[in-house]
Amino acid sequence: MTTYILKRILQAIPVFLGATLLIYFMVFAMPGDQIAALFGDRQPNPALLERLRAQYHLDEPFIVQYFYYITGIFRLDFGISFSGQPVIEILARTFPVTLRLAVMAVAISFVLAIVIGLFSALRKGGIFDNSMLVVALIFLALPIFVLSFLAQYFLAVQLGWFRPTVGARNDWGDLWLPALVLGFSVYATTMRLTRSSTIETLNQDWVRTAYSKGLPRRRVIPVHVLRNSLIPMVTDLGTVFGILMVGATVTEGIFNVPGVGNTLYQAIIRGENPTVVSFVTVFVVVYVLINIVVDLIYGLLDPRIRYVSS
């Protein structure tokens, strides 16, 4: 297992370097004067422009700029935003908020998907199964911003169960409403995957053998059926967690969540390129780590999987 982990980390290095090079090129190699654009219609002092270009190494060739950037990343130095604030401080303030939101949303989606998907598979073709499939299709068809506004209006404004917006108060209890929206928005796909995987597992020979040996259903379903059905769910939920970490921009904006997505959107609007590049680099790291963790969980769920060095 140790050899496998080291191998995956080594494989992730060229992925990280290639992704960051592409990201840096797409952001900083665009035509136009990024420093002058910050001043809008005002005409700044030329000496000030030159000093700012030198500070951000924009007067250097592109490959030299990237070298400064990537060596800073390995020192955990994400640079300074155009507003003068260290990007690492912005990340330290916003990343935990989005992490809490993503964990809550994935937990909600995971619990709902297992419970409803399992019961739907065990009652395939019944009223419950058909009803849950219709509900899943409705959630798939609803855009995230529509679901956000509906939840905000009915659950927060009309019923008063939650606060309409998050704002500065963003502890675990303050994130329930956006977490519910995100959880239900990704629940449908995970539930359908759980249902189909459980139905396929129920038809396997080892399940019929377990029943023929006289094992009770309360033993067969969780041990022989559910455990094997969780393997495709792990991949899906790993991807979902990565998506929620980097793609909750709309939900964070609607509920005024001071997280990574909302901050990244504001940085793009203001032309804060150092912030944009550093945030997206962190997203790449998150995706790589999630993929490694997902592969490790495979070995825990399915003992037939063995990692050997090649």
Residue 105 sits in the same domain as residue 235 = yes
Q: Judging by beta carbons within 10 Å of its beta carbon (0-12, 13-18, 19+), is residue 273 exposed, middle or buried?
A: buried
Cα-based distances in Å from 34 to 27, 41, 51, 58: 10, 13, 13, 9
Final residue belonging to a domain, choices 224, 239, 257: 257
For residues 64 and 25, membership in a common domain is answered with yes
pLDDT digits (tens, 9 = 90+) for 240-266: 777 777 667 788 888 888 888 888 888
What is the helix, strand, coil percentage profile of the chain, to 5?
A: 75, 0, 25
Contact 294, 235 (CB under 8 A): yes
- Yes or no: say if 244 and 144 are a contact pair by the CB < 8 Å rule: no
**Torsion sign over Cα 59, 64, 65, 68:** negative
Indicate whether 159 and 131 sit together in one domain: yes
Same domain, 193 and 249: yes
| Structural domain includes residue 252 | yes
Residue in this structure with the two tokens 């506004």, named with its chain if needed: 149
Q: State the Cα–Cα distance between residues 274 and 56, nearest whole angstrom.
A: 9
Q: Which amino acid, 304?
A: R
| Cβ–Cβ under 8 Å, residues 210 and 280 | no
Nearest to 97 by CA among 266, 297, 265, 258: 258
Helix (H) or strand (E) holding 215: none
> Is-contact 175 257, C-beta < 8 A?
yes
Q: Are residues 59 and 189 in the same domain?
A: no
Q: Are residues 215 and 144 in the same domain?
A: yes
Check whether residue 100 and residue 209 sit in a common domain.
yes
Residue 75 CB contacts under 8 Å (≥ 6 apart), including other chains = none
Q: Are residues 239 and 104 in the same domain?
A: yes
Of the candidates 257, 277, 305, which is a domain's last residue? 257
At 308 the pLDDT is 46
Residue 125 and residue 23 share a domain: no
Instruction: Specify the pLDDT at position 154.
Output: 92
- CB neighbourhood size of 127 (10 A): 8
Is 310 within a domain?
no
Note the pLDDT tens digit of each residue in 69-82. Answer: 888 888 888 878 77
The residue among 231, 152, 136 whose CA lies nearest residue 184 is 136
At 80 the three-state DSSP class reads strand
In terms of C-beta distances under 8 Å and separation of at least 24 residues, what long-range contacts does 76-83 make, across chains too? 78/274, 78/278, 78/281, 79/274, 79/278, 80/55, 80/56, 80/274, 81/267, 81/272, 81/274, 81/275, 82/35, 82/38, 82/56, 82/270, 82/271, 82/272, 82/273, 82/274, 82/275, 83/270, 83/272
CA-CA distances (angstroms) from residue 132 to 36, 149, 261?
55, 23, 31
The continuous run of DSSP H or E covering 34 comes out as helix 34-37
Q: Which of 210, 241, 257 is a domain's end point?
A: 257
Whether residues 216 and 102 fall in one domain? yes
Residues of the chain with pLDDT under 50: 307-310
Q: Does residue 218 sit within a domain?
A: yes
Percentage of the chain lying above the pLDDT 90 cut: 2
Q: Do both 147 and 20 map to the same domain?
A: no
Q: How many helices (H) and strands (E) in the chain?
A: 14, 0
Domain that holds residue 153: 93-257
- So what's the pLDDT on residue 309? 44
Q: Are residues 31 and 63 in the same domain?
A: yes
Is residue 85 included in any domain, yes or no?
no
Q: Which of 100, 91, 96 is nearest to 175 (CA)?
A: 100
